[in-house]
Structure 1
């Protein structure tokens, strides 16, 4: 009986995580910010295929969930920089595990790893 409760608890926790990270771009954004802070335009260049409107929306959502911090820089023109919060950095290991799994999966299915 205890195992069923634990499984339900885990499934609810996974669902909560998926709700925060859902969408095509949030994990990409977090991964891009795992190693350094970035300006909006740099994020857009780093994440191939994301529109400015979608990036803006996803960044706002990640900020609401306290995963990243937005800083307006006193430059001309004004630019904005994003970085993970301490709480956001708790996802770094998850991102690294996803990357490791993806490399192994690609090797298994395709037979080679893409360089880049």
Structure 2
């Protein structure tokens, strides 16, 4: 049984890496199906990459959804980015737990956004 799990993880990592490499080399359209396959199988790196693709395409709902999925799966930088997105949308209280979790995990961006949003929130 552990061998089967290891094989599935290797396949997921491979599929995810193919998508990332294709995207990094400017072949975004070819990358997207690979990234989606990996993300749907639980690949948090692919989820985060799909969020960035959606962001650059101006697709706010997709950006939010992929970041939220990655954050819920424990990707600390996605927690920080999702928290920052929520702060930008004025949802400071909803953002706080994500930013705190990211900061506790050592994500400095999350800690910075948490500090800034706390100062701004205290002013209102």
* TM-score computed with the length of structure 2 as normaliser: 0.34
Higher relative contact order (CA 8 A, sep 6+): 1
Name the one with the larger strand percent. 1
* TM-score computed with the length of structure 1 as normaliser: 0.35
Name the one with the larger helix percent. 2
